[in-house]
Every structure is written in C-alpha cells, then in structure tokens.
Structure 1
C-alpha cells in the first residue's frame, strides 16, 4: 500500500559534543529510541557473534577436510541449494512480509493475532512439507539448474553422482529452514529477539562435530581426492550431519513460543481469515526472490565452472567461505539492528508516522555504517593473513592464498549491501513490496551482466574474484536506487545529517586505516615469517591497532554513533560482570 511522503525530519536540537547521542546532539526522543534499538540489537548481536565464531571453526574444518577445489564444491553446492530454494519458495515472505502483518494482527485483531498466526503456521508447514518431498524426488533435475555444463562430461560422472546423493540428503533442510524462520519471526513480532540469533549455534556445533568425525574416520582429502567424488559412507556422514544441524536449531527455538505467549493450535479455516493481504504483499516478494535467486544461480553456475576447471581454479567454496567472513559485521550489526527496528518501523507505518519511520531508519543506518565502513577498510590489509589463519590447514593448507583476493574485494560490496539492506526494511514496513521487486530487478541485472562479462575475461583462478566484483557493482547500484526512492517516499531520510556523519567517518577511517597500513608494512619488513603463528600475530596486531586508532579518532571527531555502540557494549559487559 503506497502512502504519501511525510514532512521533513527537523534537526534535533542539543548541545554539540554530548556523549552517547548520535551526531553529538543532545538527548531526544529519537535518541532514546535508538538507545532502545541498540539494547535490543546487543542481545541479538551477542548471539550472532558466538554463532559466527563457531561458523569460523566449521569453515576451517571444512577446508581442512575437503580442500577448496572441486571435491569441496561438490558438497558445498549441494548443501547450499536447500537454503537458496527455501528463500526462493518462501523466505522472502517469511523474512520481510510476515513481521509487519503479525504486528498489525496483534494490534487490530480481537484475539490479539492468535488465529492469524495459527493459520499462517499451519499453512506454511503444509506447504513446506509438500515442497520438500517434491524436491527430494526431483533432486537430479534440481541440481542440473545450479551446475555448470562441464558436469555433463562423462569424466565427471562420479562427481555428479555425489552431488545428487548429497542433494537428496540435504534438501529436507528446506522444511527446517522455513519453520525455523517462521517461528523466529513470530518471536520477533512479540519482542523476543535473542533465541533466533542464538539457536544457529546448535547447527554449527553439530556441523563441527560432523566434520571432526569425518576427519577422524576418513582424514583430509589429498592428491587425486581433491578433484574426486565421495563414497556412500562419506556422503551419509556429511549429508545427514548437515541436515541434523538445521533441524536442531528449529527444535531449540520452538519452546520459546510458549514463553512469548503463543501456543500453536492448527487452523485450517484459511478462507476469509485475513490472509489475502499477506498473499498480495507476498506476491511481489516472491517475484523479488525469484529475480534474486536467478542472479545467484548464475553466480553458482559460473563458480562451479571455475572449480570444475581444476588446477588453481577458484569456485563456489572460495566464494561462499569468503562471503561468510565478510558478512560477520553485517550479521552482528546490520541484521540485529534491522530485526530490532522492523516492528518499530511497521508500527510507525501503521500509524502513518513517516517522519518517525525515517528518523528511526536513518539513525540505524548511521549506526551500522559506523561499524561496517572501518571493517571494510581494514579487510584488504589483513585478507592474506586472515585466509592463512582460518583456512591454512589440512587439505587447504597449500591453497589458502586463493581466498585472499575475494576477501579483499568483498569489502566495498559489504558497505553497499548494508545500505541497500536497511533501505529495504523501510519499504517492507510501508508494505511497498512492488517497489522492492523493481529495485531488485536492477540489482540482479547488474549482477548477472557484470558476472558474465567479467568471468569471460579471467582465468579459472580469477573466477571467484570476478564474481565478487560483480557483487559489489550490483549492490552499489542497489544502494543508490533504494536510498533515493525511499527518501522521496518519506519526504526525508536524514540526508544532510547522514552526509555530515559520513564526511567525519571517512576522515577517521582514512586516518586510522592509513596508520594501520604503515604498521602492517613495518611488521612485514621486520618479520617476513610466513608461518601460521606469524600470520595470526600480524593480523591481530594490525586489527588491534586499527580498532584503537579508529575509536580514539572517532571520539576526537565526536562521532556519536561510534560512542553509542561502545557505550552499549561496555554497559552490557559491566552488567554481566556485576551479575
């Protein structure tokens, strides 16, 4: 539903330099709300941080056991497809449309949204179950969509058989992914944010145990194994272990529903039950997801071709592993903020308060960029050492350098993706899913076009870096388009205040990262050791120096968004110590 733009957001009066308030302004209702958002985000961020750290262990063990070539891509692609298919079939509706609809049902329905929520859970469960069964039955056809034509070569018949076997074992994850996100969004709509961020740790723990068992039983891949398929026993261990992990994170989440005041009772009276608006909004979101997944399918196919070429080619394993690392600040900060503010944005939109919606969203954007921009600037300095520390083991020990270019090149894409991601939350709160679809068409078009053009110009070793550059181009376009359109819809999105903030932030980042580059150069000149320990020490020293320099300069430049995040984190740490 479209709404006219609201009045401009006036500048918040206050005394310059007041600590703990964004942009150095004094205390205001908007700043108090942002403090509440940060508090809710901190709970989710803590869970996400632990989850991501355990994910690092999983990624390191995966590289140690399977390497980073064709052997690894066989499993990685098959284990990634269920998440892609879940997102394609239902994820957009669950992630974006459902929370605003749940909030409206809780506010407007006589039963507080209980009937609406029960119908949604019943219908979604039946749909996901039917789709999952169909996908498992059609596994060979499904996988043919995501694999490069090189896999049609009879010489790769063994590898193709393993991909299909893994797909049959992993595709049941579609059901568990869907129900996990659905249950998590019900909790989020009721103000319970933490469990959804902490539950994935169970998945990572089971994955780590599975990979540990695999290493003990079969050892790291080596020699010809790095390009080969798997035995039936190996497929069972990796495939069942991966699916069990996704099921476990759903099982952990379910008990929190009752604590949040919701008890599931199946409801099959779907007609005239208020689901029509959800489906109408979901239609555009489904189209959005289809466009997005078409682009991602192209990326996976191109990446699988890089791995199938053999030698020093880079494929989907390198792409996905580098993406996992780069998304850490996004997951900890941006996703936590977006999850915390979406119910608030939805409430503002329901009340017609577009000025308040813009104020909340702009403040969250500045907070996210205050963390993401310095991380993105630091990443190229530590990319090679980070690749050595995370993946320099076992089957990947001789090829970890292939991760570094992709890690470094993902940095600008991270910043653009952060802006685009938060802007979409504003559109979803306004129920303008058609606009989101049109914006994503532009993003996907740029991504596919750039990927096809760039991959043709590089060798197999440059496949993944080329795909990363295409990713950055696409989200640069998305960030510009989504911010411009939403700003016009709202009348204002704090543009002047955000520009002043960005000018100071970039000054601080240039100074802190420049000084850190000198430290990295000096460390390399003093100690040219290329061992794992030296890489760890170098990465830790440069990162620590950069953090200290950035925080000190941010205080000097009075960047309140940085001090707010630091105050929130230090306050939580102090409260834990007192407890």
Structure 2
C-alpha cells in the first residue's frame, strides 16, 4: 500500500468521525447553546480527553510503536506479544490507580485546574465535578485502546483504529436525539451526554481489542513488572506524552483561563471542533502513518527514503491545509451560522465563535506541521527535544493568554494558541535542519509558495462569492437555502484552488497518481522537482 493510500485509509476514518462530530455539535448547540450546562460539559470532558491525548495517543504513538515494531523485526511476533503483555500489565494497573485518585480529587481539580472560574457559581461547579467523575474512566478505555491501536498501526492494519472514534459521535448523537424526543431539560441532557461518553469508550476499546485478536495476537494480563523493555518505554513515553499532547495542553490551559468569563468555554470548544477537522483528517493521519514507516526506513539505514517520507508528508499536509486555513479566515461566520445558529445558539454566539475560529485558522498549518515534524525525532528515539520545545510553547501560550484575555476574551485565547503552535513548529523544523535530519528538496521549496498563492487567490474568490451569496447565507434565509449556498460556495472554492494549484505547478497530478502507486520502502527518487507526493 502506498504512503498516500495509507494516509487516506486513516484519514477516511477520521473524516467520518469529524463529520459526525459536526452533527453532534449542531445538536448540542441547539440543545445547550453556550449556556452553563454546555460550559460544564465541555470543561468536564476536556479533562479526561486531555489525559487521553497526553498518556495514550501521544505517548504510545511516539514510544510504543517504534519499540513494538523493533520487537517484531528483531525477535518475531512471539517476542512482540510478550512485550505488549508486559506493557498492558503496567498500563492497566497505573490507569486503575490514576482513575481512582482523580475521581476522589475531582472537586479540588475543578477548582484549581479544570475550571477555576466556576468556583464562584456553586451550581455550575457541582455539575462540572459530577460530569467529570462520570467521564474520567473514559481515559482508561481510551488509553488501553491506544495501545491496541499502536499494535495495529505497527502491523499496518490502520482501519479499525481509525474508525473506532466514530462511535463516540454515533452514541452522543443518539443520546441527543433521544433527549430531544423525550423532552429532557438541559441538566438532564448534560448527565446523559456524560454517560454516553463513558459508553463510547467501552465500545471503542472493544473494537480495537477484537481487531488485534484478528491479527493473531492475544494480549493477556501479566503481573506488572518493570522489565528492561517497559523501562525503555516509560523513558521514551514520559516526554512524548507532553509533546504529543501539546495542542491539548494549550487547550486545557485556555479553558482554565476562559472559565472566568461567561460563554468563553463553549465558544472555544465549538470553534475547536471545526478546526479539528483538517487537523485530525490530515495531521493525525500523517503522524500515525509516518512514524512506523520512518522508523523502519531508519532502522534499515535508508536515509534517502526517510528524507523522502518527511518531505512528501510536509508537501501533502500543506497541499490540503493551506486552502482550509484560507477558507476559515474568510468565511468562518457563514460556516458557523449554517452549522450552529438555531435553538439556544444565537446570532451573538455566531459572531463570537466565528471570531475564535478565524484566529484558530492562523495556527492550523503550524499544528499540522508539528504532526509531520515530530516523527523525525520519535523515530530516532529522541523524545526529549520535542518535549523541551513543547514546554517553551506552553509557556508562550500561558503568557499571551493571560495578557490578552482581559481585553479580548475568548479570541485572545485563540491568538495565544495559534502563536504557541507556530513557535513549536519552527523550533522543531529548525533543529531537524541543523542536525542534518531534513534533506533539502528543491521541488518542495518551489511548490510551497505556489500553494500559498493558490490558497490566497481562492480566499479572494470566496470573499467575493460570499458577498454575492449573502441573501442566501444570511440569518433571514431558510436552512435549506443556507446549506445550498454554503455548499455552492465551498465547492466553487475547491474548484478554484485545485485548478490554480495544478495549473501553477504547486501540485502535479501525474506525480500524485504515481506516488499513490509507489510503495514506501521502494527506492526513493532523488530530491528534485519531480518529487511531488
């Protein structure tokens, strides 16, 4: 299977999850708006979700995957299975203890870390604590699931791990539909959603568990022991957890600061949901596929293939991310109006959320590039350097957020997040180049400015198109008219961008098709203009 086809396999599952996520957010916005129950739910869910990204996806994709793949190649499947059982025993025990500790400490955590601004509102504070206690075991399910997903990715079975997250949105949509049908009030809906999150964690774990068993590996519980392999994993995973979850760390910090202002927390969460679509579909897909492929190339001593993989990944993410950034900058308000503005979600909410989204868009290329740059460190078992850069990014995020929030509100949090993302991305890239781990690619350097130009011209076309279609995009139009006008606008924007990208040479259609057929591990072509993805 070619590199781009692997990207597409993972991205298809993520795309399905994100599209259903929009459906979920539309229903939640109509049911809860940006009110106190919405704020409590988003703050409570963010806590276990952040831990999931830190200790599950970040740590295991960065540390477990290369070590598991090394065991397969060096000692065979039996040795890899024993290693996975050693890790499972330690992980399961740690998660049990962590879950109990966090649930007992939840009132203190909400008051000091999750949403300190809610402490002045006892009803909102108590609701946030209750919802967080219900949802925190979701972390355990997803952490064990991330280990299973790491095994599947190492074995080049990508689809089950990519499709499992879809069930979070399927279950929450079902919960919201049932709540609407039965006429439940906002507080009851908040509790229903919390139990739905926990149920989805169990379903997702079951999916990847059975997928691993279908590969012929049965992971059994072993008494937790710090074997040499487990110690090596923990040594790599600790900094990788911080690095892999940098976006979530910044989001958690932003939420804690934003809890001091009404409507700010749900506004950030609703904008985050939209810009997570290109980040998840493109950035996470590239990170999941690139890490094991890069690790294999480096272990084989094939520096040329490793360099080609990195350059093609960056070119791929920029090809798809730059137009998304341009579109979100120009038409964020009609997008939010069409998706969210109904029920409890008002026109004022549209203005706030669209402002946050347009600022988030400025950081989108940086966050996607981080996903493409970090495998260059992790595949070489260097998790410390990205951790240092993540720490610098977090410090910048906190400083800028505290400076801007009093005057700008939620948009100030978005500015801080975008700036921190660019600082992290530039540091990662600079050190890769300095160490000689990033091969110069003349074709990539020539095409990037052309992709930027194509995206900018598409943005101009969207600006004029949105003005022309304003009677059908405005709040006075019907929902069908709004959806049709937005679909026409985005469709025309895509046509303009792809025509410009291929017409100017920013992308080469024939090279794209050839790259889809070329398998990773085949001899990498020389780094010239013909190296298009």
TM-score normalized by the length of structure 2 = 0.90
Q: 1:258 to 1:516 in 2, by over 3 A?
A: same
Give the structure 1 partner of residue 520 of structure 2.
none
1:70-469 paired onto structure 2 within 5 Å: 70-110=36-76, 111-153=78-120, 156-218=121-183, 230=187, 233-234=188-189, 236-268=191-223, 270-286=225-241, 288=243, 295-307=250-262, 314-398=263-347, 399-458=349-408, 463-469=409-415
- Report the CA distance shift for 1:70/1:271 in structure 2 as closer, same or farther (over 3 A): closer
Counterparts of 2:362 and 2:91, CA distance in 1:
37
Cα separation, 2, equivalents of 1:199 and 1:150: 34
User: Which residue pairs with 1:57 in the alignment?
Assistant: 23
Counterpart Cα distance in 1 of 2:313 and 2:96: 37
Q: Hey, what's the Cα distance between the residues in 2 that align with 1:537 and 1:569?
A: 33
Distance 1:386 1:292, change over 3 A: closer
Match of 1:476 in 2: 422
Mean Cα displacement is larger for which, 362-371 or 489-498? 489-498
Q: CA shift at 1:220, angstroms?
A: 6.5
CA RMSD of aligned residues (A): 2.5
Q: Provide, for residues 317-371 of structure 1, a one-character-per-residue CA deviation record: whole Å limited to 9, x for no partner.
A: 1112211111211211222122112111111222343332222011111011000
Gaps spanning 5+ residues in structure 2: where? Answer: 518-533
Q: Quick check: 1:214–1:238 contact (8 Å CA) kept in 2?
A: no
Distance 1:324 1:152, change over 3 A: closer
Taking the TM superposition and a 5 Å limit, the aligned residue runs for 1:33-48 are 36-48=2-14
How far 1:70 sits from its partner (Å)? 2.5
Rounded Cα–Cα distance in structure 1 between residues aligned with 2:296 and 2:387: 22
Query: Residues 496 and 150 of structure 1: is their aligned pair in 2 closer, same or farther, counting only changes over 3 Å?
Result: same
2:448 is equivalent to residue 502 of structure 1: yes
Instruction: Work out whether residues 42 and 568 of structure 1, in 8 Å CA contact, stay in contact via their aligned partners in 2.
Output: no
Q: Contact 2:58/2:242 (CA < 8 Å) preserved in 1?
A: no
Measure, in 1, the Cα distance between the counterparts of 2:294 and 2:253: 34
Query: Once the 2 structures are TM-superposed, how far is the Cα of residue 525 of structure 1 from its aligned partner?
Result: 7.1
Structure 1 residues 566 and 389: alpha-carbon distance in aligned structure 2, compared to 1, 3 A threshold? farther
Relative distance call for 1:162 and 1:104 in structure 2 (3 A) is same
Offset, 1:478? 1.2
Hey, what does 2:529 align to over in structure 1? none
Query: Do 2:66 and 2:295's aligned partners in 1 also have CA atoms closer than 8 Å?
Result: yes
Instruction: Give the direction of change, closer, same or farther, for the CA distance of 1:361–1:207 in structure 2 (3 Å limit).
Output: same
- After superposition, residues 541-552 of structure 1 pair within 5 angstroms as 541-552=488-499
Write the distance in 2 (CA, Å) between the matches of 1:428 and 1:260. Answer: 25
Cα distance in 1 for partners of 2:316, 2:50 equals: 29
1:506-549 deviations in whole A, cap 9, x for unaligned?
A: 22222222223222222237986632344323322221111111
- Separation (CA, whole Å) in 1 of partners of 2:152 and 2:315: 26
Separation in 2 of the partners of 1:56 and 1:475? 24
User: CA 1:527–1:429 in 2, change beyond 3 Å: closer, same or farther?
Assistant: closer
How far is 1:569 from its partner? 9.5
* Contact 1:367–1:562 (CA under 8 A) maintained in structure 2: no
How far residue 409 of structure 1 moved from its aligned partner, in angstroms, is 1.3
* CA distance 1:563–1:215, change in 2 (3 Å): farther
Q: 1:205 to 1:563 in 2, by over 3 A?
A: farther
Deviations 1:373-404 (A, max 9, x none): 01110112321111112111211144333211
Q: Answer with 1 or 2: which has the greater Rg.
A: 1
8 Å contact 1:371–1:562 — kept in the other structure? no
Question: Structure 1 residues 57, 286: closer, same or farther in 2, change over 3 A?
Answer: closer
2:483 is aligned, of 536, 541, 565, to 536
Cα contact 2:50–2:245 (8 A) shared by 1: no
CA contact (8 A) 2:337 2:475 kept: no
Partner Cα separation in structure 2 for residue 125 and residue 468 of structure 1: 36
Q: Quick one: which of 523, 534, 541 aligns to 2:469?
A: 523
The number of residues matched between the two structures is 514
Unaligned runs of 5+ in 1: 1-34, 222-229, 308-313, 571-579
Distance 1:540 1:567 in 2: 31
Q: What are the superposed Cα offsets for residues 219-242 of structure 1, whole Å, 9 maximum, x if unpaired?
A: 575xxxxxxxx3xx5554232122
d(CA) in 2 for partners of 1:526, 1:236: 37
CA 1:271–1:168 in structure 2 vs 1: closer, same or farther (change >3 Å)? closer
